[in-house]
A and B are shown apart, each in its own frame.
Chain A
Amino acid sequence: MTRECALLLPGVCAALADPRQPGSDDTCLEKLLDWFRSMTEFDPSVSLVQDNPCLTEFITSILALPEPSPSILSFTLRLAGILASSENRFQHLQQEKLLVRLFGADGPLSSTVWEDASVRSGWVEGVHSMMHHQPALHFLCNGGGIDVIFALQGDPSLFVASSASRLLVHMLIFSVESETTKPFSAKDFDWPVCAQMIIKRVEDSLQSSSASHIGQSLKLLTSLFSSCHSRWTEVLWLGIAKQIESFLMDETIQAQRMLANLLLNMAWSPVFCDSEGGLWALVTSALEHLTPLQVGPLAVGILRLYKCPQDVRIQALTVLLQPMDCILRAASQPLEYAGLLDESVSDPATVESLLSCKSSCASLLCQTLAHLEELLSLVYLRVDLPYTSLLRSLMTILQFCNGFLSPASPLGSKISRILINCVRVQRSALDVLAALSERKGCDTLIGSLFDVLLAYLESPNTTATVLKKTFQATSKWLVRLHELSCSTSQWQQTEKILADVFLVLQKRLCSPCWEVRDSSLEFLTVLIKCLRDQDEFRQSLLSSEVPRLTENLLEDPESYVRASAVTAVGHLAFITFFAPELPVIGNQYNKENTVAKLQEILSKDPEGFPRRAVISMFTKWLRQGCTGRMEDTERFVSRVIQTVEHDLDWEVRLGGLELVEVFCSQTICQLGLPRCSSVPVLSAVASSIHQNRSLQIFCRAKLFSFLFRSLCDCDKPVGQRACDILFALRGNFYPTGTPRDSQETGELPAGHGIAWLQRTLRQGSLAQNFPTGGGNGVDFEDPESMMLALGTIDLEELHDELNRSSDHVEKSPQSLLQDILATVGTIEENEADCY
């Protein structure tokens, strides 16, 4: 603790303990606790409480209040817990009997303030904080605290209930691991007293008839098995396994989902997955007996496991695929398709009844689809997925949803009626469809798949969110289609599909709904990025109306759309006027015209998004070497930075710096490293400058004025980036060190205004302000001055200053203490007035 803080702390404690003062802002109290936590975390000594007696005095005075406010009492409980987190400080507080009065049976526990959730929460958190040594454990166990915590598991406040559960798990682990003296033996395990108390209560509640008590214990066990992988957990499990197994068949306790979760967490623990303890038999039984809705998360979790018997894996996959199988069977004519599965794990009638019921059909499908998407995202899947059948079932679902398929079978017609226009299922199915494109093996269906996708793209009933997902799936499958046509040389199908896609895209680009226009443009950009090297793609795109419509959207009333149009037009340029071999139809595209339009957006658009899009597109062009010869590029960059340096949006200015960075490195690369003198003598430096072409180019392009002014930008990231660039430049121009390095006196050269610049930068980077009047004698376009500036200005100091988070002062504990003290006496607080 700094001396300043130690001086402020007594005043703060007095203010907080004074009931006449308006309650402190909750965030202040939270931050105060954060500070104490950081001070005590790695320091077990008693000095904090000894050197600052105001802390114990504060606790005493709160305890003396007849009616302390719940928020300050809660704060006191948590503070005391944090302070008691080391044994030394615990004993110190015990000597004053503070902990008994706070956490014992006669404390807040037995008063009316206990009704306030924040007090109960403070109590639990306080206990949790101190539970790092045995005296605290015994203090609580002997004082009847365990009963309180068990009761709090059922608290009406979710926060209190879950904190209580976490605390019990922590105490159990801590008790076993700190109090067990004998080496571990599964047959004769000696539970410490505190652990015994907890386990006894868990066993009792599992045997009780109360569903809520059973639920609480299942949660506790789940959390224990997921956080502790010691062998004693198995001993605990063996004592309760029979009881828990019986819950699987018992529908009255409604704990099936929690059971599935418990089993999953056990399966992840090395203690259980390797042992003969019967876990896998129980998992198998759960997969058989629980409904697909209850068991889905367990099944997908099993499939993610590295260690798991293969038959259990296959069973889990079968459970997951059952609804998809049912869909396929319901939709097909007898003997048409075989379905997805040869046999099922649980009764197929359960899945059928869930799917034919309005209230559960969509839920089951959405859950199944989400799990399948998760599986497809795994790099290594240890079971084979039937991709073709899966794709067919996805297409069936999508066709049910848009009414394109109404099968004759009673089940099929029922499901199709339920699913029609169901946006939830459409979204999930399209997500899986997109993920499936990366898996090989379902290419035979690609033609009919595009029929389904195009139907969605065309349909006026497709909602904006579904359309966006359709675009995402379509772009992925178009890439797949292209790969396929490359290998089979069947270009006709690809051309036909592309023509259809662009036709529908034309329509969508003119949608009255901005979300649709925007998603269409994003789709176009993705397509160009992935397929721009393909002739068929370029031909189809350029012979459609899409490029013209895209350019029109540069004037869209919605700024998001303008920004997306800028990006799309920028990428279109790669296949029109920047293309090495311009396709014949690409001739109509006028480079100057497009660049001018983008320049205009950069200088005039009233909103940041389009301007940001332009600057980032320009940088991309520059990176890809599209901006022409060096002189053209120099003029281009110079024009752009003069436009952006006064932009009100700092991200545009930052984008400008990125452009400068790319330009600098490209120029230096092209012209070779500057032949700079290795002798750190100023005159020698000066003489080499005139031979240094890069430096001259940078000066002409007015880069330095932009860079040095940016150091004092009122938005920090701009200053940081400018500083990084200047660093890099200095490294290039002074490869063997700067004159500053060798001048021990640190005196700055007279003339050129460099001393002024250094001063200005030092103050300006802190005040985030560069004088608007001008350079005061500094000529930012003079190579000699700039070379001197680079060599002599203390960029390291600026860099350190800029890289400190700008709220480090505001965030400091001293600032917090000052703020709390400043509110003392302002009885008439500013009314709660959030916005």
Chain B
Amino acid sequence: AGQDVGRSCILVSIAGKNVMLDCGMHMGYNDDRRFPDFSYITQNGRLTDFLDCVIISHFHLDHCGALPYFSEMVGYDGPIYMTHPTKAICPILLEDYRKITVDKKGETNFFTSQMIKDCMKKVVAVHLHQTVQVDEELEIKAYYAGHVLGAAMFQIKVGCESVVYTGDYNMTPDRHLGAAWIDKCRPDLLISESTYATTIRDSKRCRERDFLKKVHETVERGGKVLIPVFALGRAQELCILLETFWERMNLKAPIYFSTGLTEKANHYYKLFITWTNQKIRKTFVQRNMFEFKHIKAFDRAFADNPGPMVVFATPGMLHAGQSLQIFRKWAGNEKNMVIMPGYCVQGTVGHKILSGQRKLEMEGRQILEVKMQVEYMSFSAHADAKGIMQLIRQAEPRNVLLVHGEAKKMEFLKQKIEQEFHVNCYMPANGETTTIFTNPSIPVDISLGLLKRETAIGLLPDAKKPKLMHGTLIMKDNSFRLVSPEQALKELGLAEHQLRFTCRVHIQDPRKEHETVLRVYNHLKGVLKDYSVQHLPDGSITVESILIQATAHSEDQGTKVLLVSWTYQDEELGSYLTSLLKKGLPQSTA
């Protein structure tokens, strides 16, 4: 989904862990291009070894459609995470899509029912706000995202580094779902969808009113309304809308749902009532919103019945099966109406009628004249520009990365984000890698003794100011501790070693060795007035801890070799002395 609203599949490498976020498909293609090209993930080695886990944000096919292909045909055998409702609903949609694909094109190289089941059996379902430990270092946590039942944003955390992936989300509550929410988790990176990056969406209420008005008018004049939908998601939302309206207006025209999936879909909405919004939860006590009085199961014979009716039929793009069959029957009558509540890919009948084509060539060179009214209504629930900014404010990320949107719109939003929040914002294209640098803060335990000693040296501690501490860092068993050098030696059972640096300086002096030493001693005493310079009985000189000895050169007696040696603590003085001696001895001291 880099710079487009297509298949979502994002690979995040964080602190040595590799996580795949979503595994979507592109419905616009019928060949290999419909699935992400997984061969780019790793050229050497198996995917199962490379990836630590896969996370699916919600059940829409552009986020989960390639999952059975990935796990059962490409061969990923590791853990997959999603929320409980997503795990329940995902196989219904995958199955629905598989049936349409196999039915329509007679494709055989496609995942089977058994593969969908085997894939779902590998899924680990998670609860909201539950911290799931994928392994000892990697943990994930789901947050409510609105959008559709079970949609979640995921926080991925390894040590002190973290990424939040929003999936698709909605910041305003709708008829059956609440608004997305996340705590102030300050991730290093927020990966946000940006479908409506520049749009301030009008109220959904207006669109709903419009929809009801159109359906009502058609039914009143005796027409039939066809609403092509996918089995789950928007269908339920529209069902609630019509059910309440029919009840209020006391309408009698029948409403049918064609797939036979309503029961199961509604079962899930009942089962996961805690995921719906507060209003639905409250009314649930008196009346279950998903038990429809007016919406009945459809039988194929009903399409020929006279009189008005409303039919929800799958698939949603009018490209095969039930919905296309009904469309063919009703298209010729101008009293009827088809309402497309979602996006249609090129090539489908849905796409054609939405772009205004009214004479459609069907099979066998038949021309179908579309006289019925065609309406498009978008009910999709994504955050608009305002919502995205609101989420950033809420989570306070250090970097933002935009996906699932159009390049031009993203560019605009990117600037806005950078200006307002002073964070870097990225918008990689498909196949591009973005590298984010983090400053990991590593917690270190400090021994009480060292702490006391260090505080005693300095001024009174100021809690607000950072303080520099000196000590020995012990890294053991994945933990870090700062202790005094003495304690470190004791703990590790080591003896202290003194490190001495030694340097040879050659001096031209034909005198005897002890005379040269004396000359050096006098010279240093004169220059280093503030230091303790001593001439020891064994003939050597010390300046603080620095030791100087002189020997004659084995081959040239006129050259004396001064051996200068110093400890690490006196590194500065040692270097100074050496450079001083290298300049030679002054003549006057002779």
B349-377 vs A, CB cutoff 8 Å, 1 = contact: the mask equals 10110111100011110100000000010
B40 at interface (Cβ–Cβ under 8 A)?
A: yes
Stretch at the interface among B42-50, B446-454, B563-571: B42-50
Number of cross-chain contacts by CB at 8 Å: 204
Chain B: minimal CB distance from A601 (Å): 15
List residues of chain B with CB within 8 A of the CB of A822. 352, 355-357
Question: Given the interface contacts A830-B378, A833-B342, does A297 sit within 8 Å of B44 by beta carbon?
Answer: yes
**Is the pair A810, B348 in contact by a Cβ cutoff of 8 Å?**
yes
B438 at interface (Cβ–Cβ under 8 A)?
A: no
Q: How far is the CA of A726 from the CA of B99 in the complex (A)?
A: 24
* CB-CB nearest in chain B for A359: B16
Which of A116, A158, A772, A835 meets B343, CB within 8 Å?
A: A835
**Is the pair A465, B62 in contact by a Cβ cutoff of 8 Å?**
no
List residues of chain B with CB within 8 A of the CB of A117. 429-432
217-259 of chain B: CB within 8 A of chain A: 230, 233-234, 258-259
B321 at interface (Cβ–Cβ under 8 A)?
A: yes
A28 at interface (Cβ–Cβ under 8 A)?
A: yes
**Is the pair A830, B343 in contact by a Cβ cutoff of 8 Å?**
yes
List residues of chain B with CB within 8 A of the CB of A545. none
Q: How far is the CA of A833 from the CA of B121 in the complex (A)?
A: 31
**Is the pair B44, A560 in contact by a Cβ cutoff of 8 Å?**
no
Chain A: minimal CB distance from B42 (Å): 10
What DSSP secondary structure best describes chain A's contact surface? helix
Q: How far is the CA of A25 from the CA of B29 in the complex (A)?
A: 12
**Is the pair B106, A807 in contact by a Cβ cutoff of 8 Å?**
no
* CB-CB nearest in chain A for B98: A651
* CB-CB nearest in chain A for B92: A607
The range of chain A's interface size is 35 or more
B346 at interface (Cβ–Cβ under 8 A)?
A: yes
Q: How far is the CA of A802 from the CA of B456 in the complex (A)?
A: 92
**Is the pair A809, B260 in contact by a Cβ cutoff of 8 Å?**
no
A160 at interface (Cβ–Cβ under 8 A)?
A: yes
Which of A261, A366, A766, A831 meets B44, CB within 8 Å?
A: A261
Question: Given the interface contacts A157-B432, A560-B117, A714-B321, does A27 sit within 8 Å of B378 by beta carbon?
Answer: no
* CB-CB nearest in chain A for B300: A772
List residues of chain A with CB within 8 A of the CB of B354. 830
**Is the pair B347, A819 in contact by a Cβ cutoff of 8 Å?**
yes
**Is the pair A366, B364 in contact by a Cβ cutoff of 8 Å?**
no
Chain B: minimal CB distance from A311 (Å): 25
Question: Given the interface contacts A27-B29, A831-B199, does A806 sit within 8 Å of B105 by beta carbon?
Answer: yes
Which of B5, B106, B233, B304 meets A805, CB within 8 Å?
A: B106
List residues of chain A with CB within 8 A of the CB of B264. 559, 606-607
Chain A: minimal CB distance from B32 (Å): 12
Chain A: minimal CB distance from B499 (Å): 28
A285 at interface (Cβ–Cβ under 8 A)?
A: no
A30 at interface (Cβ–Cβ under 8 A)?
A: yes
**Is the pair A651, B99 in contact by a Cβ cutoff of 8 Å?**
yes
B433 at interface (Cβ–Cβ under 8 A)?
A: yes
B129 at interface (Cβ–Cβ under 8 A)?
A: no
Question: Given the interface contacts A832-B195, A833-B343, does A650 sit within 8 Å of B380 by beta carbon?
Answer: no
83-120 of chain B: CB within 8 A of chain A: 91, 95, 99, 102-106, 113, 117, 120
**Is the pair A31, B319 in contact by a Cβ cutoff of 8 Å?**
no
**Is the pair A833, B378 in contact by a Cβ cutoff of 8 Å?**
yes
* CB-CB nearest in chain B for A720: B106
146-169 of chain A: CB within 8 A of chain B: 156-160, 162
Chain B: minimal CB distance from A526 (Å): 13
**Is the pair B355, A769 in contact by a Cβ cutoff of 8 Å?**
no
**Is the pair A834, B380 in contact by a Cβ cutoff of 8 Å?**
yes
A291 at interface (Cβ–Cβ under 8 A)?
A: no
A609 at interface (Cβ–Cβ under 8 A)?
A: yes
**Is the pair B346, A818 in contact by a Cβ cutoff of 8 Å?**
no
**Is the pair B103, A609 in contact by a Cβ cutoff of 8 Å?**
no
Which of B106, B349, B355 meets A810, CB within 8 Å?
A: B349
Question: Given the interface contacts A363-B49, A716-B104, does A25 sit within 8 Å of B433 by beta carbon?
Answer: no
Q: How far is the CA of A291 from the CA of B282 in the complex (A)?
A: 62
The range of chain B's interface size is 35 or more
**Is the pair A806, B320 in contact by a Cβ cutoff of 8 Å?**
yes
List residues of chain B with CB within 8 A of the CB of A818. 352, 357
Q: How far is the CA of A720 from the CA of B366 in the complex (A)?
A: 20
Which of A158, A772, A830 meets B431, CB within 8 Å?
A: A158
**Is the pair A25, B28 in contact by a Cβ cutoff of 8 Å?**
yes
What DSSP secondary structure best describes chain B's contact surface? loop
**Is the pair B431, A810 in contact by a Cβ cutoff of 8 Å?**
no
Q: How far is the CA of A257 from the CA of B49 in the complex (A)?
A: 15
Instruction: Kindly name the residue among B122, B352, B364 whose own CB sees the greatest number of chain A CB atoms within 10 A.
Output: B364
**Is the pair B105, A28 in contact by a Cβ cutoff of 8 Å?**
no
* CB-CB nearest in chain B for A258: B44
List residues of chain B with CB within 8 A of the CB of A423. 79
Q: How far is the CA of A829 from the CA of B324 in the complex (A)?
A: 24
**Is the pair A809, B342 in contact by a Cβ cutoff of 8 Å?**
no
Which of B195, B347, B364, B378 meets A811, CB within 8 Å?
A: B347
List residues of chain B with CB within 8 A of the CB of A26. 4, 6, 28
B329 at interface (Cβ–Cβ under 8 A)?
A: yes
List residues of chain A with CB within 8 A of the CB of B176. none
**Is the pair A468, B43 in contact by a Cβ cutoff of 8 Å?**
no
A87 at interface (Cβ–Cβ under 8 A)?
A: no
A715 at interface (Cβ–Cβ under 8 A)?
A: yes
List residues of chain B with CB within 8 A of the CB of A649. 99, 260
A600 at interface (Cβ–Cβ under 8 A)?
A: no
**Is the pair A717, B103 in contact by a Cβ cutoff of 8 Å?**
yes
* CB-CB nearest in chain B for A469: B77
B502 at interface (Cβ–Cβ under 8 A)?
A: no
* CB-CB nearest in chain A for B24: A834
A89 at interface (Cβ–Cβ under 8 A)?
A: no
B405 at interface (Cβ–Cβ under 8 A)?
A: yes
Which of A31, A717, A831 meets B102, CB within 8 Å?
A: A717
Chain A: minimal CB distance from B347 (Å): 4
B196 at interface (Cβ–Cβ under 8 A)?
A: yes
**Is the pair A766, B361 in contact by a Cβ cutoff of 8 Å?**
no
257-306 of chain A: CB within 8 A of chain B: 257-258, 260-261, 297
A464 at interface (Cβ–Cβ under 8 A)?
A: yes
Question: Given the interface contacts A261-B44, A648-B259, does A805 sit within 8 Å of B62 by beta carbon?
Answer: no
Question: Given the interface contacts A27-B28, A117-B431, A363-B49, does A819 sit within 8 Å of B346 by beta carbon?
Answer: yes
Which of B263, B362, B406 meets A809, CB within 8 Å?
A: B362
List residues of chain B with CB within 8 A of the CB of A363. 49
* CB-CB nearest in chain A for B43: A261
List residues of chain A with CB within 8 A of the CB of B328. 767-769
* CB-CB nearest in chain A for B123: A515
Which of A116, A297, A720, A835 meets B342, CB within 8 Å?
A: A835
Chain A: minimal CB distance from B213 (Å): 20
B57-92 vs A, CB cutoff 8 Å, 1 = contact: the mask equals 000111000000000000001110000000000010
Instruction: Kindly name the residue among B43, B117, B259, B346 whose own CB sees the greatest number of chain A CB atoms within 10 A.
Output: B346
* CB-CB nearest in chain B for A648: B260
* CB-CB nearest in chain A for B305: A772
16 further A-B pairs in the complex, CB-CB below 8 A; given A297-B45, A518-B121, A769-B329: A158-B431, A158-B433, A159-B430, A257-B45, A258-B44, A297-B44, A518-B117, A606-B260, A648-B260, A766-B366, A768-B324, A801-B364, A819-B352, A830-B343, A833-B195, A833-B378
In the assembled complex, 29 residue pairs joining A and B whose CB atoms fall closer than 8 Å, in A order, are A27-B28, A28-B346, A117-B431, A157-B429, A158-B40, A159-B430, A257-B44, A367-B49, A518-B121, A559-B264, A609-B113, A648-B258, A650-B103, A651-B99, A714-B300, A772-B304, A806-B363, A809-B361, A809-B362, A810-B347, A811-B30, A815-B352, A815-B361, A830-B378, A831-B378, A835-B62, A835-B230, A835-B233, A835-B234
**Taking beta carbons and an 8 Å cutoff, which residues of B are in contact with A?**
4-6, 16, 26, 28-30, 33, 40, 43-46, 48-49, 60-62, 77-79, 91, 95, 99, 102-106, 113, 117, 120-122, 136, 195-196, 199, 230, 233-234, 258-260, 263-264, 299-301, 304, 319-322, 324-325, 328-329, 342-343, 345-349, 351-352, 354-357, 361-364, 366, 376, 378, 380, 405-407, 429-433
Q: What 4 A-B pairs are tightest by C-beta distance, nearest first?
A: A27-B28, A159-B431, A822-B355, A117-B429
